[in-house]
Chain A
Amino acid sequence: MLAAAIRRLAQALFVMFGISVLVFLIFVATPGADPAARIAGRNASPETLAAVRHDFGLDRPLPVQYAVLMRRLFVTRDLMSFVNRGQQVIPTIAEAAPVTLSLVAGAGVLWVIGSLVVGLVAAATRGSVLDRLLMILGLIGISMPVFWLAEVVNLFTQSRWHDTWLFSWVPPLGYQPLTTNPLGWFKALVIPWITLSILFIGLYGRVLRASLIEAYEEDYIRTARAKGLSERRVLLRHALRTSLITFVSLFGLDFGALVGGGAVLTEVVFGLHGVGKLTYDALLNLDLPLIMATVLYASFFVVAASAVVDIGYAWLDPRVRLGR
């Protein structure tokens, strides 16, 4: 058990290392990314450029530069942005993290509840009008680009219907910290939560329904019915329980990716300065230190989510846990 855990850890670290190297190489090779020119400002003289380069260690060989970046990020923790002078990378990420976390956690709760309801109802009433309606809604849900939906939603909540009782409580776009203004925090996030979760409810609702219908074909459902159990119990305790295994695995991976910054589109349109937006801005500005930090942040969560999902899988499925 322990050996396997250590191996997984080593694997995870290797993957993160690989990703960071890959990103480093991509950006270092970009001509427009020459940090020295950006730091020194435009029309800097060649001497200034050389001096800046030397100061920031940009004239050293690539592996050394990489090592320096890593050291400043993890050991001394004073890594600074190349673009915004004086901006410390780690505090910047620390500030953006709660925003993303709030957005993603709330949306996650909505999406899990939503897709469970949709999937269960659709599978239970299979073939009926309700089932078909739910599936069509789900189809529409996954076909709408999230940023477009966000724009349309904004149109109505901020502008067109803002004065009606329906949306008058919607605050202007932006984030309000939980600790200083809980109600404001909630009000600012409700619409983004709903918008972000629609896509996932559509997706997971359909997946769950398909999974449940497949489970229904299994022999153990026939046995459960032969036991004389009510149809509802058969659905919930037998079919759902086995379908949950896949559901939870998929959820874990998607959620992990979102926490690491995958909700960039939603964040941009709703004016929430979260990690996704931070990553995007860093990439646009070709700000190498910030890029490295945010990419590592994102890949950490992806890798961690993968590990958690594996553990969760073993916990949920005794065949994996106690395999013969």
Chain B
Amino acid sequence: MRRLGRDRAAMAALVLLCLIVLACLLAPVYAARIAHSDPFQSNVGGEVVIGGDSVPVLQPETGGLGLGVTPIGPTWHGAFLLGADMQGRDLAARLLYGGRNSLMIAAGASAICLVLSAIVGIVAGYFGGIVDAILARLLDVLWAFPVYLLAISLSIVLINSRLRIGPVTIASDSLLLPMLILGIVNVPYVARPVRGQVLSLKESDFVLAAIALGVPNRRILARDLLPNVASTLIVFAPLMLALNVMAEAALSFLSIGVQPPVASWGTIIQDGQNLIYTRPLVAIVPGLAIVLTVIALNVLGDGLRDALDPRAKIRVRAG
């Protein structure tokens, strides 16, 4: 941990991440106090005060055919700081709300994935035998399934029909759907290394000794296996988060992730597709947010990996 603290890049990344998260969490405050608008309500007929004049938010197009309307651009003031989207909604406010959703989905999906992978990997690796054989085969088939296909298929299916598990029903526009899907889809990629690690740990001397001494399985799992597996998972975590942020954005961009009117960074980019030539900020800004977040996560991940790597960096050859 101390080594991580000395890694300036990783620390800077961590600070940046905290800032992003904080900003997104304060979304309601921003919307109410600064933007004075509801980012989810269609605001097509709305007006905004700029420099003393009251200006409609959606203005008639001046160039081109003169048909249709175009939203106003950035005002660089409190209201409509970055401009409006096609529905007259404040882009900056939507950005923050969207960030909240994107990050929440990514975090939830990563947590689900890591926990599931840990369980599957440990059970398969430790108990071996039939359990392992079945799980390994299952992982193989899932692993061969092109990830994007699986994610897209499941998303489309579950969005069309709600998910019903026992008494719990998850509506098709719930944020839990993309969270669950992204969480499950990546399990093979993490469970395999975990299983491999457990398999080799099982053969290690201290585990064999514990088994020989008759230590109950539960204790071996908790005391010996879990800490080692946990450090592997910790290294995976930021990278998983980065992957899931990008994946959620992709799914939402394809309209099969977060469903409107709920916003996420991906849906805003989708909104911005039609405006790309006239009001490019709508599409560009959420993308920039993603880029910053993912870069920060990657740098943090690299730093974690270096800090937790037991191999010393300087090798002094004996003799």
Interface residue ranges, A against B (CB under 8 Å): 15, 18-19, 22-23, 26-27, 29-33, 139-140, 142-145, 147-149, 151-152, 154-155, 158-159, 217, 257, 260-262, 264-265, 268, 279-280, 283-284, 286, 295, 298-299, 302-303, 306
Question: Residue of B at shortest CB range from A295?
Answer: B149
CB contacts (< 8 Å) of A15 on chain B: these are 140-141, 144
Question: Residues 204-244 of chain B: 1 if any A CB is under 8 Å from the residue's CB, otherwise 0?
Answer: 00000000000000000000000000000000000000100
CB contacts (< 8 Å) of B160 on chain A: these are 30-33, 286
When chains A and B are docked, how far (Å) is the Cα of A262 from the Cα of B291? Answer: 21
A159 lies within 8 A of B250 (CB)? no
16 A-B pairs besides A148-B291, A152-B287 with CB distance below 8 A are A19-B145, A22-B141, A29-B157, A32-B160, A140-B295, A143-B295, A144-B290, A147-B250, A147-B253, A154-B276, A155-B280, A159-B276, A265-B250, A283-B156, A298-B146, A303-B144
A158 lies within 8 A of B277 (CB)? yes
When chains A and B are docked, how far (Å) is the Cα of A142 from the Cα of B296? Answer: 12
Q: Does chain A have a CB within 8 A of B110?
A: no
A145 lies within 8 A of B148 (CB)? no
When chains A and B are docked, how far (Å) is the Cα of A18 from the Cα of B273? Answer: 37
B269 lies within 8 A of A19 (CB)? no
B156 lies within 8 A of A148 (CB)? no
Q: Does chain A have a CB within 8 A of B174?
A: no
Question: Residue of B at shortest CB range from A303?
Answer: B144
Give the contacting residue for B145; candidates A22, A31, A145; CB below 8 A: A22
* 26 A-B residue pairs with CB within 8 Å: A29-B157, A33-B157, A33-B160, A139-B295, A139-B299, A143-B290, A143-B298, A144-B290, A145-B249, A145-B290, A147-B253, A147-B269, A148-B269, A148-B287, A151-B276, A151-B287, A152-B284, A155-B276, A261-B146, A261-B149, A264-B152, A268-B254, A280-B152, A283-B152, A295-B149, A303-B144
Known: A19-B144, A155-B276, A283-B153. A140 touches B291 (CB 8 A): yes
Report the minimal beta-carbon distance from B53 to chain A, rounded to whole angstroms: 29
Which 4 pairs of residues, A with B, have the shortest CB-CB distance?
A: A148-B287, A143-B294, A32-B160, A159-B277
Report the minimal beta-carbon distance from A236 to chain B, rounded to whole angstroms: 24
Q: Does chain A have a CB within 8 A of B283?
A: yes
User: Which residues between 253 and 289 of chain B lie within 8 Å of chain A, taking CB atoms?
Assistant: 253-254, 256, 269, 272-273, 276-277, 280, 283-284, 286-287
User: Which residues between 124 and 161 of chain B lie within 8 Å of chain A, taking CB atoms?
Assistant: 140-141, 144-146, 148-149, 152-154, 156-157, 160-161
Report the minimal beta-carbon distance from B48 to chain A, rounded to whole angstroms: 25
Q: Does chain A have a CB within 8 A of B8?
A: no
CB contacts (< 8 Å) of B161 on chain A: these are 29-32
A302 lies within 8 A of B276 (CB)? no
A264 lies within 8 A of B148 (CB)? yes
CB contacts (< 8 Å) of A159 on chain B: these are 276-277
Report the minimal beta-carbon distance from A275 to chain B, rounded to whole angstroms: 11
CB contacts (< 8 Å) of A26 on chain B: these are 153-154, 157
When chains A and B are docked, how far (Å) is the Cα of A148 from the Cα of B271? Answer: 12
- Please classify how large the interface on chain B is, using the bins under 10, 10 to 19, 20 to 34, 35 or more: 35 or more
Report the minimal beta-carbon distance from A273 to chain B, rounded to whole angstroms: 16
Question: Residue of B at shortest CB range from A143?
Answer: B294
Known: A139-B299, A298-B146. A145 touches B153 (CB 8 A): no
Q: Does chain A have a CB within 8 A of B3?
A: no
Question: Residue of B at shortest CB range from A257?
Answer: B146
Report the minimal beta-carbon distance from B204 to chain A, rounded to whole angstroms: 23
Q: Does chain A have a CB within 8 A of B315?
A: yes
Question: Residue of A at shortest CB range from B298?
Answer: A139
When chains A and B are docked, how far (Å) is the Cα of A48 from the Cα of B249? Answer: 41
When chains A and B are docked, how far (Å) is the Cα of A152 from the Cα of B280? Answer: 8
When chains A and B are docked, how far (Å) is the Cα of A33 from the Cα of B156? Answer: 10
Question: Residue of B at shortest CB range from A12?
Answer: B144
Known: A19-B141, A148-B269. A302 touches B156 (CB 8 A): no
Question: Residue of B at shortest CB range from A32?
Answer: B160
CB contacts (< 8 Å) of B91 on chain A: these are none
Q: Does chain A have a CB within 8 A of B191?
A: no
Question: Residue of B at shortest CB range from A222?
Answer: B317
CB contacts (< 8 Å) of A295 on chain B: these are 149, 153
Question: Residue of A at shortest CB range from B277?
Answer: A159
Give the contacting residue for B283; candidates A18, A139, A151; CB below 8 A: A151
Report the minimal beta-carbon distance from B8 to chain A, rounded to whole angstroms: 13
Question: Residue of B at shortest CB range from A156?
Answer: B280
When chains A and B are docked, how far (Å) is the Cα of A261 from the Cα of B253? Answer: 17
When chains A and B are docked, how far (Å) is the Cα of A299 from the Cα of B145? Answer: 6
When chains A and B are docked, how far (Å) is the Cα of A295 from the Cα of B148? Answer: 11
Report the minimal beta-carbon distance from A47 to chain B, rounded to whole angstroms: 26
B154 lies within 8 A of A265 (CB)? no
A144 lies within 8 A of B291 (CB)? yes
CB contacts (< 8 Å) of A144 on chain B: these are 287, 290-291
When chains A and B are docked, how far (Å) is the Cα of A26 from the Cα of B283? Answer: 33
Q: Does chain A have a CB within 8 A of B82?
A: no
CB contacts (< 8 Å) of B269 on chain A: these are 145, 147-148, 151
B290 lies within 8 A of A148 (CB)? yes
Q: Does chain A have a CB within 8 A of B246?
A: yes
When chains A and B are docked, how far (Å) is the Cα of A56 from the Cα of B101? Answer: 43
Report the minimal beta-carbon distance from A248 to chain B, rounded to whole angstroms: 19
CB contacts (< 8 Å) of A22 on chain B: these are 141, 145
A302 lies within 8 A of B295 (CB)? no
When chains A and B are docked, how far (Å) is the Cα of A303 from the Cα of B295? Answer: 32
Report the minimal beta-carbon distance from B317 to chain A, rounded to whole angstroms: 9
